[in-house]
Amino acid sequence: MSKEGKLLTGKEVPFISSDAIKWTEVSVEPRCVAGSGSSSTVAPPTEDAGSCCVLWSPPTYLVWRIHKDRPNALELLEFCAQEQLPRVGLRIIFREDLSPFAYIFENVRRTPRYPYMLYALSVSGVAYCFQLRNVSEYTPSLGFSPDEMLFFEIQNSFGPITAIAATSGCLVVGREDGSVSCFQLGLLDSNAPGFMHHLRDDAALTRLWSFVSRGRSIGSIKDVRISDVQNKKLVFVLHSDSNLQVWDLFGREKILSHYLHVPGTIAARMWVGEFSHDSNAISLAVMHKQTLEVNVEGIYTYVADLKLGDSISLLLNTSDLFIPLTERELVDVRLTSDKVWVLKEDGLFGQDLCGPNRNMGWQFYALHEEFVADQLFQTSKHSLDLLFEITGSIFCNAKAQMLAFISSIFLHRLLHLGLQNTGVLRATLADYNKQWTDSEFHGLSVEDLRRKILSLIEQEALSGSTFSIFKCWSELCMRYFKLWCKRNKPHGLLVDSLSGSIGLIRKDSFSLFRCLEDIELLVHGAFNDFDDLKSGLVISGDSDEKRILVEVLLCCRIFGQHFGSEVASLFYQSAMSFSMISVEDLVHHLLKGLRSGCNYSLAKVDASEQGIDLVHQNLNAAHKELRGFSVDMLVSLHGLCSKANGWDKILHAIEYYLNYLVPSMSEQSSESGKTLNVITSVVIQATPQIAGAMFECALEIMLFLNYLISFNGQICMPDADVIKVKLELIPMVHGIIVKWLLIYIFSTTPAQSLAEENFSLQLSSLQIDGNTSKPRWMEKINVMNFTLDYVLILNANIYSPNWKSQYSSCLPSPWNLTSMVKNFISWRIRGPSGKGVSHAFGHLTELALVLLRHGQYNAVEILLKIVIEHLKNENHCNSIQSEDGGWCLLHHLLGCSLIAQTQGRSKNKEKINEAVRCFFRASSGENVADVLQRLPSEGWPQLAAAVTGSNAVWRLNYYQWVMQLFELYNTSEAAYDFALAALEQVDEAMPHDSCGTNEITDESASAVRGRLWANIFKFTLDLGRYYDAYCAIISNPDEESKCICLRRFIIVLCERGATKILCDGELPFVGLTEKMERELACKAACSDILLKPNFYKLLYAYEMQQQNWRKAASYIYLYSAKLVTEAANSPSLALQERLNGISAAINALHLVHPTCAWIDLQISGSLFLNESNPSKTLKIDEEQSSSSGVQARTHQSFVDIKRLENEFVLASAEYLLLSANVPWIPTGNKTLPSDLVNLLVKKNLYDMAFTIILRFWKGSGQKRELERVFSAMSLKCCNAEASSPLSGSNGFLLKSSVDDPTMGGAFDTNGLTKHPISNTLWEMLEVYLDKYKALHARLPAVVADTLLGSDRQIELPRWLVNMFKGMPQERTLGMTSQDCDVASLFRLYVDYGRYKEAADLLVEYIDAYESTRPVDLIHRKRPFAAWFPYTAIERLWCKLEESIHSGHMVQQSEKLKNILLGALRSHLQLLKKDSEDALSSVMG
């Protein structure tokens, strides 16, 4: 039997997935099992199996599963209908494989700690009996103790085990030899009498019967079942020879022995139903397998009538119900007292065994495989081709949009509720080499998964074309579908006779079945005549109207068959993707395709990918199909029109059908509080199935109506009817589509996790009272099966639907489940408050508020945009806007959702701009104040209280509220817009005078303006628009606020390094010059001196721009002075800054008239008085100046340029010493800086040393210092003994001259520290001596004296001797001259025993004297007439004689003495001759 020709009655609803279960694995220790090492197989091998045991009232459901691919594991799942979905499961790991059997029952020992007992059997014949706790109590470390587990090896000589059954406290096995063994495992000790017994005939009678019958013995056992009948346990035993025996389990007597004779077949399996107290009968189902002679296989049903008395007797009657099947198709069979359920691989079939519905045929329930195949476009090979063709025709010139649109469709289908399975998805992605650890994969959000899958598709589609990407999606869906079917194979059925619920146990999930809703029955019904219409839809009128409706639905079915379910996905995605394509454009493209056929531009794309032959073949097939569709549709429409005698009845039937499609809003009672449990989870899972079906039905009607208008010329519809379709029916069906779409979105959209930055919302969810049970549901947020419906149900402040019924504690039956879904949809349409709404979609505002409260901002945006777009298209905005403010309320909530999405991420400018538009539209309506003020304030700024005044007052306060909202989300640009808008409303709201007050806040108009200007200042400052921020400051009428803003303005500019705007002359300092200066001065006094940017420098630049030169010099000088005391930790940087500051002060004072070029320290210090911090008042006095090493002076309150230059020189010297790692600590006394000069000379910093000497010493003091410095330099030369490169200076700092040394330029450290490497100490001495001998003529003598004093035998440098001798042309002048005194050199030679050099020097000058030409006689006489070193010559003569007398160097002394004597004689003779000549010239 197949599903073809059967009436679809219901569908499967999965609600428990193994992915959401945390499995606790507990191993059975090998020490507990004696025969665990046996390798023999005596029991049925492992197969996929599963069942459910229902215990107690209210019932507890215990599901067990055994998987063939993991044969040694038994999974247990425990749940109750009125409790939450199970989150923990138990997986018992055995040491050997298990037979496909388990049985759970109430603990016969009545132990509270162990409420359950479990039977299991291994393939080696070891029976286990466990005492089980509640499943949630197990942990991996908690194994089974010996007291919690029993085992018994049931192998014996009777042969292998072929069938297994159990009841409370008794395990029953059937064997190959036809015997049945019973073990009271867990009830009695294995050694106790009665623990084991066998159900079989007496041996003697058996032998006698075998002899009489001349036949073979009884066959092996094929199946064993146990049933409770009137407190008795009846064991039904099916033998391989089709013999059925019924035994009283504990009475150990046979009740029935019946041969099930079906010609050509043998009995293979058996199922026993429940005992019916009404009919005293038990239903049986036996599967007969075909033999070689007969090719018939199926299930026969039987009824065993029970007669009660002293003993029980059974009479087996054969039923006429036969279920043909193949063994491969069959999965499980369940019987109740009045019904049989057959689970096959292609669906679930149900049939009444008795009653009035017995002859109405089979009820068919579709399995979830059909839904998954439809979602993934796997129903036919042309599904994906049609989707690609439609999307290609829509986006023929926009490849990027087409790819995004297609990817969105596939992602939505792939991650759909009820389809998404994380294990399957992970395995599918693993085929593409996408591997994750468990923690990594479970840490992925829905958006992360979307990005990963999109990235995978882009990598697989190497060519990047639309066709290749489409094929990659197709391949991914095909792999996913195959893996889903493999990992979700059906294992067994759950049939709860108490509630009537039907469940399906799968390998990886658990499901319930629901009945179809009336419209679904109508659409899926295979009706050709009205008599086949079994829907609950009631149509008033005669049968003709009903037949017309049937014909209309048949036409709609033609549409559905032509387009398929792909059209629904296109419309869904177009509604969700607002910027890609509208619903109206999509309808236009579909109808255009019906008129023109295939898109040839798309065919060209296909030709490049698939080949031209295949493309032409597809085009021909498409044209043929389109022609067939057009012919069928036109024939049907003409036939329908002729049957109805016009279009009036047809449109009336369509209108009635549309009214029935509108989601119902029935009156129902409500109960408050959270009701998240298994039942609500099943209802939420089933809701998208019904909503999707209703959405598709309405969509087909909409396409049909648009088709009527588009092809009006061919069907001859009157203009009046066309107008009715356009203005009434199409808007009506649009509204229905939107409503079902919203319901569908609520049911399928995963809830988003709260943003980490949403601290206020997270804080509100903390459990201060220690109650940790409330927020547990929030852990499920961002899980794919946790949708928006869960958020609505779990909201504590709403009413949930009342689902109380007689089965409220049980799983719902198929009909009850559908009824619950309808009630849930009705509750959601009525709104969370349970009150009616005054306009269309008014309930959505309540739902949106709930979602906003729980951070579902993106979902709110989607929902509200869909509704607003629909209302705009239906021209409802004006009426809604004028009636009760609903239109404005929708825009208000949409704006809130948009702005909330910008938190914690890069600002989405598009969303911000859209939010601005929404808020302005929300404020434009009439009577909107009361509506918005009634909104709750959770998580948002509080709107002002109700206003009875004008709309201007309301808008003023509303704009301020929006401004605060944007400020809360750090969106300054939008907040700036609303601050300006509010400012514009002030004049209209308070038109009389500036003293008027706000009706809400009791503020004056001036105060409101001041506050708004302050906000404008803040927002523009945040945006970096400094000019606008300053304009806001000067526009602020509130003086106090103006000062605060100015202070903040300065701080922010300094923090951002944007202080240039204060000094570039762009800002109009109208009336704020003094305030600006005062604020900067206060900041300078209170801030760190090394702060960047520095307020002192800023003041300097500010005053320079204002041309206040003296103030500029005062601020920068105070900065340099403050560095002395407050920057001790950074001496190098402080000195550098001091030099720059003093230099800047000097430059500024040079711009002032010389009579005013000074700084008043008292006035400058008073600028920094800080009223709030008097301890930080800057005090500058003479003590601070003296600490800098300045010359001693009397206390002064001013500083002139000369003093600044002196400080500059000292600071420069200190910086050079610090650079040479020589710290200089000023002594603080009033002496000149001689110690500083010594340190500079010590480090060869001669330029700076001479600069200080020339700056601070005059007259004899200056000469003394020069002599001391050159003496020190000479000693260095002597100690060096050889030339070596030493540092010198070619610096230009403080260039000096004899008349007036001056300082030029800013301080340049490079010029002071870099020297030519070729210089030596002797060369430096020569250079500096030649430079400064003009200041002090004795410097060469001081150098020579120092050199000879340090070493009498030293050879004086030639350049030094030449300084004494003068130039060669000057040597004729004698031993004296204006520039150099040779006599002093002669005396030095004599004093230091350099007799030879002295004699040579004397002879040299006497010879020069004698060689003078007659014409220069007057010049020759002049020097000698003035002076001749007679005393020194005499001393030399005496020294030579002493040397001769002492016998020391006698020969050399004699020689020198003779030379000296000859020279003197010659000199005296020449003098005598010259004297005589002079006298003769006078006398003559």
pLDDT in tens, 1236-1274: 888 888 888 888 888 888 888 888 888 888 889 888 888
The mean per-residue pLDDT over the stretch 905-933 comes to 83
Using the predicted structure, report yes or no on whether residue 342 has a pLDDT greater than 70: yes
Parallel/antiparallel/unpaired status of strands 330-335 and 313-324:
unpaired
Using the predicted structure, report yes or no on whether residue 1306 has a pLDDT greater than 70: no
Residue-level pLDDT at 833: 57
Confidence of residue 1231 (pLDDT cuts 50, 70, 90): low
Residue-level pLDDT at 162: 92
More confident residue, 1376 or 814: 814
Backbone φ/ψ region at 1014: left (φ over 0), alpha (ψ -120 to 50), beta: alpha
Nearest to 1123 by CA among 1215, 1251, 1237: 1215
User: Comparing 272-276, 772-776, 856-860, 1215-1219, which segment has the lowest mean pLDDT?
Assistant: 772-776
Residue-level pLDDT at 963: 93
What is the distance between the alpha carbons of residues 1186 and 1229, in angstroms, rounded to a whole number? Answer: 7
The two tokens of residue 1365 are: 């001798």
What is the distance between the alpha carbons of residues 647 and 645, in angstroms, rounded to a whole number? Answer: 7
User: Comparing 44-48, 98-102, 1031-1035, 1083-1087, which segment has the lowest mean pLDDT?
Assistant: 1083-1087
The mean per-residue pLDDT over the stretch 231-250 comes to 90
What is the distance between the alpha carbons of residues 124 and 143, in angstroms, rounded to a whole number? Answer: 22
Using the predicted structure, report yes or no on whether residue 718 has a pLDDT greater than 60: yes
The mean per-residue pLDDT over the stretch 502-510 comes to 93
User: What is the total residue count of the chain?
Assistant: 1484
Using the predicted structure, report yes or no on whether residue 183 has a pLDDT greater than 90: yes
Helices 951-968 and 886-900: angle between axes, nearest 10 degrees? 20
What rounded mean pLDDT belongs to the chain? Answer: 78
Using the predicted structure, report yes or no on whether residue 1313 has a pLDDT greater than 50: no
Confidence of residue 834 (pLDDT cuts 50, 70, 90): low
How many beta carbons lie within 10 A of that of residue 1072, not counting itself? Answer: 18
More confident residue, 884 or 189: 189
Identify the three-state secondary structure at position 1281.
Answer: coil
Residue-level pLDDT at 597: 64
Nearest to 695 by CA among 743, 633, 758, 635: 743
More confident residue, 504 or 792: 504
What is the distance between the alpha carbons of residues 1237 and 1240, in angstroms, rounded to a whole number? Answer: 5
Half-sphere exposure (Cβ direction) of 1227: Cα atoms closer than 13 Å:
10
pLDDT digits (tens, 9 = 90+) for 608-624: 555 566 666 767 777 77
More confident residue, 618 or 220: 220
The mean per-residue pLDDT over the stretch 458-464 comes to 79
* pLDDT > 70 fraction of the chain, expressed in percent and rounded: 78
pLDDT digits (tens, 9 = 90+) for 682-702: 999 999 999 999 998 899 899
More confident residue, 191 or 839: 191
Residue-level pLDDT at 1298: 34
Q: What is the distance in angstroms between the CA of the first residue and the CA of the last residue of the chain?
A: 174
- Max avg pLDDT among 1008-1017, 1251-1260, 1306-1315: 1008-1017
Confidence of residue 1072 (pLDDT cuts 50, 70, 90): confident
Residue-level pLDDT at 1297: 34
What is the distance between the alpha carbons of residues 1398 and 1388, in angstroms, rounded to a whole number? Answer: 8
More confident residue, 1296 or 228: 228
Q: What DSSP assignment string belongs to 1470-1484?
A: HHHHHHHHHHHHHH-
Residue position matching structure tokens 């629909």? 870
- Max avg pLDDT among 132-141, 999-1008, 1152-1161, 1439-1448: 132-141
Using the predicted structure, report yes or no on whether residue 806 has a pLDDT greater than 50: no
pLDDT digits (tens, 9 = 90+) for 854-894: 888 989 999 999 888 888 877 654 555 555 678 888 899 99
Residue-level pLDDT at 813: 92
Using the predicted structure, report yes or no on whether residue 274 has a pLDDT greater than 90: no
What is the distance between the alpha carbons of residues 902 and 27, in angstroms, rounded to a whole number? Answer: 51
Residue-level pLDDT at 135: 92
User: Comparing 193-197, 386-390, 486-490, 918-922, which segment has the lowest mean pLDDT?
Assistant: 386-390
Parallel/antiparallel/unpaired status of strands 298-307 and 313-324:
antiparallel
The two tokens of residue 591 are: 């109808």
User: Comparing 329-333, 486-490, 1239-1243, 1429-1433, which segment has the lowest mean pLDDT?
Assistant: 1429-1433
Residue-level pLDDT at 1238: 86
The mean per-residue pLDDT over the stretch 1168-1174 comes to 40
Using the predicted structure, report yes or no on whether residue 471 has a pLDDT greater than 60: yes
Residue-level pLDDT at 541: 52
Which amino acid belongs to residue 880? Answer: I
Dihedral (Cα; 1126, 1131, 1137, 1141), 10-degree rounding:
60
Confidence of residue 227 (pLDDT cuts 50, 70, 90): very high
What is the distance between the alpha carbons of residues 447 and 113, in angstroms, rounded to a whole number? Answer: 45
Residue-level pLDDT at 73: 95
Using the predicted structure, report yes or no on whether residue 603 has a pLDDT greater than 70: no
Angle formed at CA 648 by CA 642 and CA 654, multiple of 5 degrees = 100
The secondary structure element, H or E, covering residue 322 is strand 313-324
pLDDT digits (tens, 9 = 90+) for 548-575: 888 888 888 887 777 777 788 888 888 8
Using the predicted structure, report yes or no on whether residue 1119 has a pLDDT greater than 90: no
Residue-level pLDDT at 777: 47
